[in-house]
Amino acid sequence: MHQGYWDKAQAFHGHSCPGLAIGFKACEAAIEKMEVNPAVDEELVCITENDACGVDAIQAILGCTLGKGNLIYHNTGKQAFTFIHRATGKGMRFYLKARNTGMDRACYQDYLLNAPVDELFACQERILPVPERARLFASVPCEICGELVAEQRMRLQEGKKVCLDCFKEYHRGW
């Protein structure tokens, strides 16, 4: 991938770091192995398994964002990214197998940026249901705090529609 993509990722993230380089190389892997282009709308979906720096590269380079609904956060804590191309249904998961074996930050970042994607990532084709496109939901006022909330996030508690912040979970211990 060319320098312009790295510059774009750094500008979006605010600095360069090994974590950003991981996301940059995940983008390179998706472009190389899946022959995809950056998403204008929702044609490319990314399911990220972490909320680390690399996710910023994916947003900046491939256009997968929470706001558009084509970035899905599935918290496993792994440096893994699954990309799904809606038109073809093709999906691939890229799991970071490369580990820092004592290099300082700068050397590790340089290694990540220059190593071939096959050295860095285990790649696995995935057959997954294509996530539905982002939907718009009506906003409903919480009957406790009065703030508007997307209706699918409301809870019913003691006959009132309440937001997640006002909802009191019921726990019996253990």
What domains are there in the chain, each with its CATH number?
3-126 (3.30.1330.130), 136-174 (3.30.60.20)
Instruction: Report CA 46 to chain centroid distance, whole Å.
Output: 5
Q: What's this model's pTM, rounded to 2 decimal places?
A: 0.80
- Report how far residue 69's alpha carbon sits from residue 46's, in angstroms, rounded to the nearest whole number: 10
Neighbours of 45 (CB within 10 A): 23
DSSP 15-77: S--HHHHHHHHHHHHHHHHH-----SSSSEEEEES--STHHHHHHHHH---TTTT-EEE----
Phi, psi of 100 (to 5 degrees): -75, 120
Check: CB of residue 84 under 8 Å from CB of residue 91: yes
Residue by residue, pLDDT tens for the chain (174 residues) are: 788 999 999 999 999 999 999 999 999 999 999 999 999 999 999 999 999 999 999 999 999 999 999 999 999 999 999 999 988 888 999 999 988 889 999 999 999 999 999 999 999 997 777 777 777 889 999 999 999 999 988 999 999 999 999 999 877 776
